[in-house]
Amino acid sequence: MPPAPSSPPPPAAAPSSLRVQALRRKPISSFQQDVDRGTLRRTVGLFQLTMIGIGATIGTGIFFVLNSAVPEAGPAVVVSFAIGAVTATLTALCYAELASAVPVAGSSYSYAYATLGELAAVAVGWCLLLEYAVSGAAIAVSWGQYLNDFTDRLFGFRIPDAIAAPPGAGGYVNLPGAVLILLCCLLLVRGTRESAVVTTVMVLVKLAVLVLFVALAVTGFHSSNLHPFAPMGWAGIGAGAATVFFSFIGIDAVSTAGEEVENPRRTLPLAIICSLLVITAVYVMVAWVGVGAQPWTRFDGQEAGLSAILTEVTGATWPGAVLSAGAVLSIVSVVLVVLYGQTRILYTMGRDGLLPAFFHRVRPSTGTPVAGTVAVGVLVAGLAAVVPLDDLADLTSMGTLAAFAVVSVGVIILRRTAPTLPRGFKVPGYPVVPVLSAGFCAYLVYELPVRTYLLFAGWMVLAAAVYLLYSRHHSRLRTTDAGTDSRGGSAGPTETIEV
């Protein structure tokens, strides 16, 4: 009896190991295909985009975080702002190059996907979600303080702390912050052009208010308030720099508008650089005049600090009321842009299959991701209602610095992997500037407290779980070998990083 034929050998396993999946990169050509068939509308010009950058950045950082940073650094908080500005400048140059080379929505998430691979992109995307969600909540938390100060000065009325402050700060729930976020989401649902116009108006108002602060507070400037200049030494300056870096996070928001900007290769880098120049000048002037007009020991725990300084310097109530009104509008504009940025990150990750497609759906009548915007509003409003500001600011800085460092490294990688790719802007002093940018980010991360590391680690564990259980199975790149993505379109060739 002849022997039974041997069974055929099993087919070779497809190269779909977790390691390969984690390292696969999204081709640059695929980004352009997404833009060409995208549903977002290009309605934002250079001036409006610059206002978005300023609007996303100048807000709580100068109206509230100054009160947290001055007790850490003393009058040397000006140096802390300078360190933050240098870090932001170096990173902004890197952002400008990548934004001009890969002008799509998604910001540093998209840049990481093109240069470092899928797992790095997921990590950066979750850092950005942390940055925008937590910063939006943190900014909204402080809104109630200036709203109370404004109504108290004009009408002698204050919202009770029980519903105007979060737990740990004298209240049970921060109702004004939650309401603010939901109202901003309603405006975002109306459309990007409408949101950009409102942002532009509010940015111009807050710049005028901060110029008024500098002009009035400088009359009370006393050099004796600057001594001792650095009572906590260099350690205090470094800790202050890590805290005030929260004030520069909005730079990232400019690049999230990559698919809604006219002539993006030129407009994106110009808007990033112009907005940072204005932001840095305003921060340094306000910080210098503020610590010169009031002893540094009085900043700790001072509510609506800039308004209080003007009241003391001028002896009148109207300057403080004007500043509080400016702060109220300023914080509205920041929350508006921060929520906008988060919805665009979710939009891009949903399009790539790394998050549910729910976030990628756009309502044709408005050209906006309505469902994703509503989901973001509910989540961030909940955070603003129940979480104190101090617990949120450092966590935001951690997520932001991690994303910024990836952008700096991404410039170097993209120069090597795609040297002929058209770029509307190139980082001067390459490769020194990207290396310095990553180094400054690492230094500021080092200065953050241990509690922030633990919270951030927990967030990254959550991101890894979502990637393992959902994202890697639904990624559009998973079917590249078959030649189609999950929606039937061409996905382009998968690239992997050599390690």
Q: CA nearest 392: which of 315, 456, 323?
A: 456
Tell me 10's DSSP state: P
SS3 249: coil
SS3 75: helix
DSSP string, 76-115: GHHHHHHHHHHHHHHHHHHHHHHHHHS-STTTHHHHHHHH
Residues with Cβ < 8 Å from 126, sequence gap 6 or more?
A: 459, 460, 462, 463, 466
CATH classification at residue 441: 1.20.1740.10
Residues with Cβ < 8 Å from 109, sequence gap 6 or more?
A: 121, 124, 125, 128, 345, 348, 349
Sign of the four-CA dihedral 319, 325, 327, 329: negative
Tell me the whole-structure pTM to 2 decimals: 0.73
Q: How many domains does the chain have?
A: 1
Residue 9 in domain? no
Which pLDDT score is estimated for 6?
Answer: 44
Q: Are 476 and 486 in contact (CB under 8 A)?
A: yes
**Is the per-residue pLDDT at 392 higher than 80?**
no
CA-CA distances (angstroms) from residue 481 to 354, 485, 493? Answer: 18, 10, 8
337 or 4: which carries more pLDDT confidence?
337
Alpha-carbon span 111 to 102, nearest angstrom: 7
- Determine which of 32-36, 170-174, 201-205, 330-334 has the lowest per-residue pLDDT on average: 32-36
Residue 489 in domain? no
Mean pLDDT of 33-48: 68
Q: Are 191 and 366 in contact (CB under 8 A)?
A: yes
Which pLDDT score is estimated for 193?
Answer: 65
- Determine which of 97-101, 161-165, 397-401, 420-424 has the lowest per-residue pLDDT on average: 161-165
**Is the per-residue pLDDT at 14 higher than 50?**
no
Residue 495 in domain? no
Residue 13 in domain? no
19 or 299: which carries more pLDDT confidence?
299
Residue 77 in domain? yes
Find the domain containing 128 and state its range.
44-477
Instruction: Scan for tokens 């925008």, then name that residue.
Output: 132
In this predicted model, what pLDDT tens digit does every residue of 65-123 receive, in sequence order? 677 788 888 888 889 888 888 888 888 888 888 877 876 666 778 888 888 888 888 88
* Highest mean pLDDT, choosing among 42-56, 89-103, 464-478: 464-478
Residue 321 in domain? yes
Alpha-carbon span 274 to 265, nearest angstrom: 15
**Is the per-residue pLDDT at 419 higher than 50?**
yes
- Determine which of 102-111, 208-217, 267-276, 449-458 has the lowest per-residue pLDDT on average: 102-111
* Highest mean pLDDT, choosing among 329-333, 384-388, 448-452: 448-452
